[in-house]
Amino acid sequence: MSAATFQVLGPEGTLTGPDPAIPRDDLRRAFRHMLKMRVLDQRMLSLQRQGRIGFYGTATGEEAAVTGSAYALRDTDWVFPALRQTGVSLWRGTTMKEIVCQLIGNSGDVLIGRQMPCHFSDRKVRSVAWSSVIGTQLVHAMGAAWAAKIQKRDDVMMGYLGDGASSSADFHAAANFAGVFKLPVVFFCQNNQWAISVPLSMQTASESIAVKSDAYGFPGVRVDGNDLLAVIAATRDAVERARSGGGPTLVEAVTFRMGGHSSSDDPTRYRDAALVGDWERRDPLTRLRAWLGASQALAPGDEERWTQEINDEIGAAIAEAESFPPPPIESMFADVYKEMPRHLSEQMRYAVAMGEGQKFEGAFPL
């Protein structure tokens, strides 16, 4: 890690910086949540390999960045995620069944099968739908922050991005506008070193991603993204600054994507095994486990019991999710207009008839 990288827990799980004084029960909950993310990744990747879901993007190795940033937010704040922030929704109250249903895209999916797998969103946990088009969620986060400022609400928006998105035009547009108008938004970059197969060294000539904030007139902080305590401390400061009217902050959490970009990717084709081994020694779960064990916040048997509970929860969620039928044909036509116009009503009637195998006379009503 660079000397300019804020750190609280070293790789061995010993304090190297100021303790942010997180309550013991919160630390236990955070560790269990990181463990849940790790187990969920393993189970869902297995499900994808079996052909039971179509696509999955793991966050293995990045659990501290996801959990620590989520911890710093209020329930009333809004989240604008990218690919690896499903754990943020889980932290905020999304159920395991809802996650699995979304991955399948069935009638139990809160999005009714209208999004790609892993593109989760849900109004009740204030998580906004994102696009695979890189960086678009940052402009949405900035716009929502502008609305909050106009309406004089103290909500904070968290816009997530990867290192690749820091090269996008939407990153520039969002950061520039947010800086000019001092909007209540935090741009949280999970710098996992790779934008699919493009390494960070080919992504930017800047000494860091955090330094890019200087051009937009607001602070940037580079934090050890595998250190839960450091992520919480840095993100909490950024959120409090935004909430108090101080404007945006760019948080760069330096971490590593242990697996492929997605279930469709083979990282061994472009990444050296020795590099992966080096980052395995910085595993965020190993680090926090050592700290909690030394401080007696984690008792012997806790992790084994939690792992079993999580596996049982996931198993039950899969069984329930796979019992749901596909979304009804009518759902394609709902939520388009407040009152369905005649032409759409006719199209729905035609589609339902065709779906049920009934003969329908005449051309499709365009």
Q: Which residues are catalytic?
A: 257, 261, 270
Please say whether the beta carbons of 178 and 216 come within 8 A.
yes
Task: Give start and end residues of each alpha helix (H) in 114-160.
Answer: 136-150
Q: Go through the chain and tell me how many residues it has.
A: 366
Q: State the residue for tokens 């690896």.
A: 84
Tokens 């960045």, residue located:
65
Query: What is the spatial distance between Cα 321 and Cα 55, in angstroms, rounded to a whole number?
Result: 16
CA 307, CA 121: separation in Å to the nearest integer? 26
Angle formed by the axes of helices 169-181 and 136-150, nearest 10°: 20
* Farthest-apart Cα atoms in the chain, separation: 75
DSSP-derived secondary structure letter, 56? -
Helix/strand/coil for 142: helix
How far is the C-alpha of 335 from the C-alpha of 333, rounded, in Å?
7
CA distance 87 to 93: 10
282-305 b/e (C-beta count within 10 Å ≥ 16 → b): bbbbebbbbbbeeeebbeeebbee
> What backbone phi and psi angles, to 5 degrees, belong to 254?
-80, 115
Distance of CA 167 to the CA centre of its chain: 19
